[in-house]
Chain A
Amino acid sequence: MKTFISTLRQLLAYCLLVLTAACNTVPSSSSSSSSGSPPPGSSSSGSSSSSSSSSSSSGSGQSSSSSQGAGAGQSSSQQGSQPGSQTGSEAGAESGQAQSSGEQSGGNQDGKSDDEILADALGEFEKGRNAGNQAAEEDGQGSGAGQTAGANGRTTAGTGSGGQSAMTDEEKARILDAQLSGKFAKFDDLMLGERDKISKSDNESGSGGGYGGSGDGDGEGYDDDPLQTAMADQQPLPARGSGFPGDKIRDDISPAPGDVGDGQDDDIIARQLREAAQKEKDPELRAKLWDEYRKYKKGA
């Protein structure tokens, strides 16, 4: 058993050396952008392991090590050429931990348990893989340096990574839609408020009466001699629906209240009021329209 463990230890040390050699061939600048989000699916090691691995690459520049946080989406603000240069309390803690762990592990491996050695090796391996990915990104895109675009994994619209950009635009459109709906609601309130003011103003002034000279237009020629009774209140005239091509007449017509009858004897104005009330989706407006319909029928 002991032989096996010692063999394993030697093997790990050998791998460690190989990886370290590989890391040394990677330019130190690549570490700045790799401090961003880890690639999807990459496992994140414990902070201590990455910290210890950072110390082992001190020869290549501590910037890479210090910026390589836990490999779990550390903010790119950790990057910096000076040891311990970080922004954010988390980064500071991580860097400090990294440094302390690095120092601890940078001496020799004596006194470390097998588990610790294994963890360190795995952390180094992770670090090496991240560095390799970053190099590939830089080679492919040529825009990696400085692209500290968010530890949360989102890319900007200019990167051309299609799937994530579309989601962002969709979300953006949804947010804007919600804003538009909010403004519609405010507008509706404004209009209702204005109409309330007008009706109150009319009630206070006691204005009323009107000409009946235009007569009743129900599709037939009619006599406009002064025999019509003047209307006491002017009724709100409904708007017709929009008529874009292929737009069907709205079929979401709500039923009429039981007290308004079937409308067979409605004249033009009553019919329009009834239709507007039935087609109205806003319950408050619909109730007001039915009230106006009842008032008009009563007056007529």
Chain B
Amino acid sequence: MIKQHYLYSLLLFILVTTAGCNSTTVRSTEREKIAAQPVQIPENLLLDVGIGIFNPGVDALSSEPGVYPKIREAEARFMPYILMETMQNSGSWGIVRVIPQRQSEMDLWVNAEILRSDGENLHLLVRVQDSSGKIWYTKKYTDKASKYSYDTSLPNRTEPFQALYNQISNDMLLHYQQLDANEIASIRLITELKFAKAFSAEAFSEHLGIDKKGRYFITRLPADDDPILQRVKQIRERDYMFVDTLQEYYASFARQMQEPYLEWRRAYYEENKALQEVKSQSRNRIIGGAIAVLAGILAQGVDSRTARTAGAVGIGAGATAVMSGLNKREEAKVHAEALEEISASMDAEMEPHTMKLEDRTVTLSGSVNEQYGQWRQLLKDIYEAETGQIAPSPQS
């Protein structure tokens, strides 16, 4: 009697849960907001930030499921731009620029690797370092997109992972606020001297030293009226101009990529959610169905007619659940194939834009570097003429 009651309860439980089983996802709509300094920072205490192209985190020939190399290459150039805009708009920094390959000298450098990126998740490993070589911190950032980010009914959509970029900016600001004015001034001066030394090693070779940890420190201050220094300042203005021109490239790239990339993420997000849902249902139904079948088989061995009837129902229901689960699995395949198709087309769409950006950046950088080389030689000649000394060969 107790055994029959137990079997009835078990069968009832399995049938109910299998029929009503679905997965739920809880999403929080709270997002990290960007923080700013309560008081405007004086210009001489602002730090300039350079953001490098992100490491895509995948090999170009990677065939890992769910990873699309061309999209990652494009993201590696798109995401720094979004971070740049976020930090620039915070009002807590000097100039913030995307600079590939550290072609210029900046007070702070931000480098990141994309660990995971689909429409739903974004994981970044971020490292922040100042011009002296000191690493401020290395941290992994993760974020899940809200479904509202892809809701086309909303009038103004924002970057789905804006909260992550806000968090990066806020963390950097927190670290900055722990520095005193002398430390900030030292970072700025080291940046200036590194730049000057890059163009006139003869005149500025004795102004910076390197300690055992490989960090720069100031050994001499330059004279205010140093004529070579004045020329280096003129060069620095041109360098700013070059970096600003590079920003135009990345801005143009971001504008072209923005809409298709958002659509891809939305489609990927929805298909991915559906896929997960279906997989979960499939799994639950198959499991539930198998248990029901098993329980029904067991019930057949019981003497009670009621139990045997219930057992037969359980077998039937269980089999139905298993079949339903298998159908869901087929449905999941459809979604997975849809994801592949969407991503492949996106891959193809992004590649020419990325290649064009690279070509223009490399071409312009090549032209500029060639000119920089000529300027260095001229500065060397001027130094020799003005000082009457033969400048030593700059050490690399």
Seen from chain A, the residues whose Cβ lies within 8 Å of a Cβ on chain B are: 169-170, 172-173, 176-177, 179-180, 183-184, 186-188, 190-191, 194-195, 198-199, 201-202, 205, 207-230, 234, 236-240, 242-247, 249, 268-269
Interface of A, secondary structure class, is loop
| B255 engages A239 (CB within 8 Å) | no
B176 at the interface (CB under 8 A from A): no
| A240 engages B89 (CB within 8 Å) | no
| B156 engages A230 (CB within 8 Å) | yes
B259 at the interface (CB under 8 A from A): yes
Q: A198-B252, A217-B90, A243-B189 are in contact. List 6 more A-B contacts (CB 8 A).
A: A170-B385, A194-B248, A207-B255, A242-B236, A244-B222, A268-B88
| A222 engages B34 (CB within 8 Å) | yes
List the A side residues contacting B154 at CB < 8 Å: 226
B256 at the interface (CB under 8 A from A): yes
Stretch at the interface among B2-10, B36-44, B284-292, B318-326: B36-44
| B89 engages A268 (CB within 8 Å) | yes
The docked-state distance in angstroms from the alpha carbon of A230 to that of B242 is 27
Contact with A along B64-87 (1 / 0, CB 8 A): 000000000000000000100110
28 A–B contacts from the bound complex (CB under 8 Å): A172-B385, A176-B382, A177-B382, A179-B378, A183-B375, A184-B238, A194-B245, A198-B245, A199-B248, A201-B252, A207-B252, A210-B254, A214-B162, A214-B165, A217-B89, A217-B92, A221-B34, A222-B36, A224-B162, A228-B158, A234-B255, A236-B248, A237-B95, A237-B247, A238-B95, A239-B95, A239-B241, A244-B233
| B156 engages A229 (CB within 8 Å) | yes
| B86 engages A214 (CB within 8 Å) | yes
How many inter-chain residue pairs (CB < 8 Å) link A and B?
Answer: 186
List the A side residues contacting B189 at CB < 8 Å: 243-245
Interface size on B, residues (CB 8 A): 77
| A169 engages B385 (CB within 8 Å) | yes
The docked-state distance in angstroms from the alpha carbon of A184 to that of B155 is 47
| A240 engages B43 (CB within 8 Å) | yes
Residues B336-369 near A (CB distance < 8 A): 364, 367-368
| B259 engages A269 (CB within 8 Å) | no
A174 nearest CB neighbor, chain B only: B385
B171 at the interface (CB under 8 A from A): no
- Within the complex, the shortest CB–CB distance from A131 to chain B, in Å, comes to 34
- Within the complex, the shortest CB–CB distance from B91 to chain A, in Å, comes to 4
- Within the complex, the shortest CB–CB distance from A271 to chain B, in Å, comes to 9
The docked-state distance in angstroms from the alpha carbon of A238 to that of B95 is 7
